[in-house]
Structure 1
Amino acid sequence: MHLTVSSPVQSLADIHRIEATPLNQAIPWPSTYDLIRASAEAHAEQPALTFLHTGAPGGPATTWSYRSLLQGIHQTANLLHSLHLGPQDVVAILLPGGLAYHLALWGGEAAGIVQPLNPLLSEDKLLSLLRASQAKVLIAHGVDDDSHLREKALRLQAQLPDLKTVLLVHPEGAPLAPDLPHGTQDFHALRQQQVSDQLLSERVFQPSDIAAYFHTGGTTGAPKLARHSHGAQVFTACANASMQGFRANDVTINGYPLFHVAGVLPGALCSLAIGMHVIIPTDALFRNREVVQNYWRLVEHHGCTLMSGVPTVLAALAGVPLNGADIARMRAVRTGAAPLPPELAQRFEQTFGLQINESLGMTETAGLSTVAPPGLSAPAGCVGWPLPHAKVRIAALNSDDQVTSVDLPAGEKGMVLYQGPNLFSGYLDAAETARSFTPDGWLITGDVGFIDEQGRLNLSGRAKDLIIRGGHNIDPKVIEDALGSHPAVELCAAVGAPDAYAGELPVAFATLKAGAQVSEAELLAFTAERVDEAPAKPKSITILERMPVTNVGKIYKPELRTLATATVVQGLLHQAMTPLQTPAAQWPEVKATGDAPVEVDARATPEAAWAALKPLLVALPVKILLREK
């Protein structure tokens, strides 16, 4: 049996129709391996994956059929089995985008538990993640290139006694570098020695078996390891295809990184479940400028019918002209992971004739929880209906922004709670798991939103993103929608700047479209006119050369909060130092890096000047690192 779907969902009645089929009949596969095997049997000679070696249309490429993909998965799983990796053991992945990543993912899940790692994390964080998972095998990039992933993998191996084997992925047939540490082996060479038509382990899968550990928490802060079951991942893939009406003859470019749940599940497994053809746009994916500049020509060349990207990627693509590229086969555009600016949605539709539909998902829901299907006319911020067999409810928040047991009616904003077959199996840390659920078992998503009269979820922002000014909750999306409608603005975000009296004051940051010119004062006036509530009018707007984003393209607000705090601190310096006529060389030095606390070094500052400044800094409702004499 393989997965087939009908037309996209267009109403709650369509979802109820899908739900009429019991879940165990609608999704008969207990594991990702069984799902891919069924798809390979149905679409054996159809193209599954095409890797583009460059971003040039018609350039060199390697294509694997569904049959060859399944054979490679068998070989990888059998190789890991020969290394004594069992169903409870972990194989970590430290690779760029590419075909080998799919072997590591799905072969790893067929043999044990996979742990995709973000290559841009610091080595200390990678070490902590590998220690937490007790990974026995690491499949890593084997080429000595500018990514430095091979060197990073070998340094990790040297510090982890439990990491018995490192399998290096490098060009097939090329000799392995000499003088590598004991336990370092050639992935492709060993894989090709394995049988390719079956799993030698004869493993019998259960839907509750753990398939993967995904880290969540970004590039800073303490990453958490979320456990995904096979059943959760299979449900996401099948439910997503059913909601969106995917077809076996669809073609899509998956530019999401495969260490991220969006790239692995909605982006890859869902496509493989339906028999779709997935294009991998070089190992750098959407970080490759050539890919972005040639995107529409790539769409034409490969006959793409579906596209997907986070809003920052779509904003970049909106600035790329068609230049005659024929994109008539494109029928649906999807985004998620971050709020969609209304202006971007409008620009995409006017420029390309393509409507963007939104989804909501997170690592803890195996990548997906609600979908606005293709063809659905909905405002920006509407992320559609819950997946079939899943539920969403809106709970009121108390004065401390904690979830209460009070459900809110349609139209009222509150915390989004989720239940569904693709809920994760908890974090490795049980205490973290307990904090993520209500007492009656609903996942606290951290998103603020409301359910409209059609039963669709509409997002307002993240609870932690709310700007609280003197007890007044300000939704940053109100500011972002106003500022984002300015024709010169490409990306924007609003955050709270610390204030000793009000707690937080709203400020905003923006990047401009290529060639656009506008002053910060003009943007501030423009935005203030379009924000009705006086407390929500931003106090300042800062134009940036580069908007800080995460590795999957989300705007990274913690870094913006650091910038906002540093600006406040600089203002207090002027307030305290200027009346005392303190020489500039003796002013405290302000350091602001990433999302770390702002540091003020006053060791060269006269005592009288420091005595005037320090109380102002201490009064701020954020942590400031003070370095005194």
Structure 2
Amino acid sequence: MTTPHPTPPSADGPPTEAPAWHAPFAPVRPVRTPADVRALEATPLAEAIRPSSTYELIRNSAHAFGDKTALTFLPSAEPGAPAVRWSYSELLARVHQTANALHRLGMQPGDAVAALLPGCLEYHLALWGGAAAGIAQPLNPLLSDEKLASLMNAAQARVLIAWGDDIAEGDHGLWTKAQRVRGLVPTLRTVLRVTPHDVTQPTPLPAGCADFHALIAAEPDDRLVSRRQIAPTDIAAYFHTGGTTGAPKLARHSHGAQVFTAWACVQLQGVRVDDVAINGYPLFHVAGVLPGSITSLSAGAETVIPTPALFRNKAVIANFWKLVEAHRATVLTGVPTVLAALANVPVGDADLSSLRYGRTGAAPMPGELATKLKQLIGIQVHESLGMTEMAGISTITPPGMTSPPGCVGIRLPYTHWRIVALDEQGGASNRELPPGESGMVLFKSPNLFSGFLDEADNRHAFTPDGWLATGDLGYIDDQERLHLSGRSKDLIIRSGHNIDPKVIEDALAAHPAVQLCAAVGAPDAYAGELPVVFATLIPGAVATEDELLTFVSERVDEPPARPKRVTILDTMPLTNVGKIYKPDLRKMAADMRQHAWP
């Protein structure tokens, strides 16, 4: 079992005292109501949460739990297949080695290390070792080379940790992609290759690249050789947001914000040391990293990573209930589209008695899906509100609380919220609304992000007095629960993917026959929304809807953003000042989805 001790002497300088050890996070009391939240707030925040960094959280858990399993990786989706397990002590040792290797490569606390990885144990080293040495930058592997390079250039990434080998690419192709992107990012000093475990004879490494496992194996595993003292205000990670298909928009997360998210999730969800969660969220997404990973790691629970493809692996979905039985999973989490797929998988003779709590987020969950899941597995799957701008979680519906569809739970401790009327431009006004009346949702919270990396992106993120303007519309009921009713912004949310409609519109507008076009979300019971486009043609021009659909799909690089339908209109609905009036288009899309679109 790992124990705290002063850092021993090293070539980097004299020893320094290690941070004080604190017990891992554990529920203070059962939380079922807003009154329970207020009871937690009786303790000052600085006393309730002692750790200053995600590194300290993992260190605390390693001290307390030692050989207990922290992470389980499933190379195969077969329930009886061998798994790879890391204990809490092993995880901390490898986090030390990763941080030390990055430090040895010259990384400083303000430098970014990008990660281009599938689901794997090493992703946790990139996240937590990266944050201990500098700033972790998880990247969506589905993005185009140009988008990845743009994000890395915005962060001025110094190191890229990438998966794969030319002889074992499978369906990932990430090593080849990393080599292409590498030449587009001038600040990159080196690329570290994470070779899959089943590759016995990896191909030679190009110049400027190194083997990740070999590099970290040479480093001390019992300390940070940098002697870094991480402050809560230090930036831990950059997450891209604001539309995964739009222009780069990097949100800065402080260590303190991520630590608060872990603590709040432990308190409101009642996370226990014997909990086991199958985390199929991608680890470039806040849901998988913060509510889904560091929360469990801060409480001594076990996190199961279901194959490199995670929930995109059809075999994981097909075998999921057997995996729950095999690993005695206690927590079910997933976006509504994943839960809808699971709802169609027969439980058969799988023993699901270990399940005690379910949570979803990222997109609205249809009421019929919630009912079907409860009938299938015997527990309610609760809705929550999470956003990148609040380190992954904003509200939670705790175990034991019943709530109707659209209710995303209660506020976190030490968090403040307001509902305000919209101004004439659809933004947040300063007029607060009473309970039951819908308006824009505003937050102030200890896990509020540190703003976007580009200051220009912050202009509309906050109100003049510092509240986060979420763009979500909703109301607070008489039981102090938040209900969401829509969005003031135009983002299309498909299965948790934030799609910038402008990307679609710009692509279709390039067609020589198109005069005007606008993309909106059409309601869908499975995906929440599907992108559709309306267009008018230049007088005298000729084009078919199928032709335009093919044209735009070929020019939108991320699959979730490719529209499902293009509809040609005689005239485009416009406001009095000549702007396209999207509420009319959304109504058309809903009507077509219900009556004419199979």
**TM range, smaller chain:** 0.7 to 0.9
Summarize the Cα distance change of 1:351–1:616 in structure 2 as closer, same or farther, 3 Å threshold: same
Q: Which residue matches 1:133?
A: 155
Q: Which residue matches 1:215?
A: 240
CA distance in 2, matches of 1:299, 1:597: 35
* Structure 1 residues 170-569: aligned runs within 5 Å: 170-171=195-196, 174-178=200-204, 180-464=205-489, 508=522, 510=524, 555=528, 557=530, 560-562=531-533, 565=534, 569=536
Find the residue that maps to 1:405 and give its secondary structure: strand
Stretches of structure 2 lacking an aligned partner (at least 5 in a row): 1-21, 494-500, 506-516, 582-598
Q: Deviation string for 1:106-139 (max 9, x for gaps)?
A: 0000100010010011111111111111111000
* Structure 1 residues 68-83: aligned runs within 5 Å: 68-83=90-105
Q: Deviation string for 1:537-567 (max 9, x for gaps)?
A: xxxxxxxxxx7xxxxxx6454xx232xx15x
Find the residue that maps to 1:131 and give its secondary structure: helix
> Larger relative contact order (C-alpha < 8 A, sep ≥ 6)?
2
Letter in 1 for 2:203: A
| CA-atom RMSD in angstroms | 3.1
Summarize the Cα distance change of 1:508–1:555 in structure 2 as closer, same or farther, 3 Å threshold: closer
Find the residue that maps to 2:267 and give its secondary structure: helix
Q: Deviation string for 1:433-468 (max 9, x for gaps)?
A: 12200011000011100000011111112222599x
Q: Deviation string for 1:300-346 (max 9, x for gaps)?
A: 11001111001111111111111111101101100011111111111
CA distance in 2, matches of 1:28, 1:309: 30
Q: Which residue matches 2:89?
A: 67
In the TM superposition, residue 588 of structure 1 has moved relative to its aligned partner by: 11
Summarize the Cα distance change of 1:510–1:4 in structure 2 as closer, same or farther, 3 Å threshold: closer
Q: Deviation string for 1:196-246 (max 9, x for gaps)?
A: 111111111110000001101333211300000000000000111011111
Letter in 1 for 2:297: L
CA distance in 2, matches of 1:223, 1:403: 24
Give 1:43's match in structure 2, choosing from 57, 61, 65. 65
Summarize the Cα distance change of 1:148–1:409 in structure 2 as closer, same or farther, 3 Å threshold: same
CA distance in 2, matches of 1:586, 1:376: 51
TM-score, length-normalised on structure 1? 0.78
In the TM superposition, residue 356 of structure 1 has moved relative to its aligned partner by: 1.2
CA contact (8 A) 1:339 1:461 kept: no
CA contact (8 A) 1:411 1:453 kept: yes
Find the residue that maps to 1:384 and give its secondary structure: strand
CA distance in 1, matches of 2:544, 2:244: 35
In the TM superposition, residue 361 of structure 1 has moved relative to its aligned partner by: 1.1
Identity %: 54
Paired residues, number? 525
Find the residue that maps to 1:93 and give its secondary structure: strand
CA distance in 1, matches of 2:543, 2:87: 66
Q: Does 1:10 align with 2:36?
A: no
CA contact (8 A) 2:325 2:352 kept: yes
Summarize the Cα distance change of 1:306–1:127 in structure 2 as closer, same or farther, 3 Å threshold: same
Q: Deviation string for 1:68-92 (max 9, x for gaps)?
A: 0001100100100110111111110
CA distance in 2, matches of 1:442, 1:379: 27
In the TM superposition, residue 158 of structure 1 has moved relative to its aligned partner by: 2.0
Letter in 2 for 1:43: F
Q: Deviation string for 1:347-400 (max 9, x for gaps)?
A: 111222110111111000000111111110110111111110011110101343
CA distance in 2, matches of 1:117, 1:38: 28
CA contact (8 A) 2:490 2:520 kept: no
Stretches of structure 1 lacking an aligned partner (at least 5 in a row): 468-475, 477-494, 512-546, 548-553, 601-612, 624-629
Find the residue that maps to 2:532 and give its secondary structure: helix
CA distance in 2, matches of 1:586, 1:231: 53
CA contact (8 A) 1:115 1:212 kept: yes
TM-score, length-normalised on structure 2? 0.82
CA distance in 1, matches of 2:304, 2:227: 32
CA distance in 2, matches of 1:599, 1:351: 33
Summarize the Cα distance change of 1:219–1:12 in structure 2 as closer, same or farther, 3 Å threshold: closer
CA distance in 1, matches of 2:91, 2:532: 45
Q: Which residue matches 1:99?
A: 121
CA distance in 2, matches of 1:34, 1:598: 46
Summarize the Cα distance change of 1:351–1:431 in structure 2 as closer, same or farther, 3 Å threshold: same
Letter in 2 for 1:177: T
Q: Deviation string for 1:391-429 (max 9, x for gaps)?
A: 111010134312110000000000000100001001111
Find the residue that maps to 2:413 and give its secondary structure: coil
Summarize the Cα distance change of 1:350–1:614 in structure 2 as closer, same or farther, 3 Å threshold: closer
Summarize the Cα distance change of 1:587–1:8 in structure 2 as closer, same or farther, 3 Å threshold: closer
CA distance in 1, matches of 2:335, 2:448: 22
CA distance in 1, matches of 2:136, 2:317: 30
Find the residue that maps to 2:489 and give its secondary structure: helix
CA distance in 2, matches of 1:419, 1:111: 29
CA distance in 2, matches of 1:33, 1:364: 21
In the TM superposition, residue 275 of structure 1 has moved relative to its aligned partner by: 0.3
CA distance in 2, matches of 1:300, 1:466: 38
CA distance in 2, matches of 1:143, 1:36: 30
CA distance in 1, matches of 2:545, 2:338: 41
Summarize the Cα distance change of 1:283–1:42 in structure 2 as closer, same or farther, 3 Å threshold: same
CA distance in 1, matches of 2:391, 2:480: 22
Letter in 2 for 1:449: G
In the TM superposition, residue 58 of structure 1 has moved relative to its aligned partner by: 1.3
Summarize the Cα distance change of 1:81–1:504 in structure 2 as closer, same or farther, 3 Å threshold: closer
CA distance in 2, matches of 1:112, 1:445: 28
Find the residue that maps to 1:360 and give its secondary structure: coil
Find the residue that maps to 1:110 and give its secondary structure: helix
Q: Deviation string for 1:260-288 (max 9, x for gaps)?
A: 01100000000000000111000100000
Letter in 2 for 1:188: H
CA contact (8 A) 2:427 2:471 kept: no
Summarize the Cα distance change of 1:597–1:340 in structure 2 as closer, same or farther, 3 Å threshold: closer
CA distance in 2, matches of 1:85, 1:507: 42
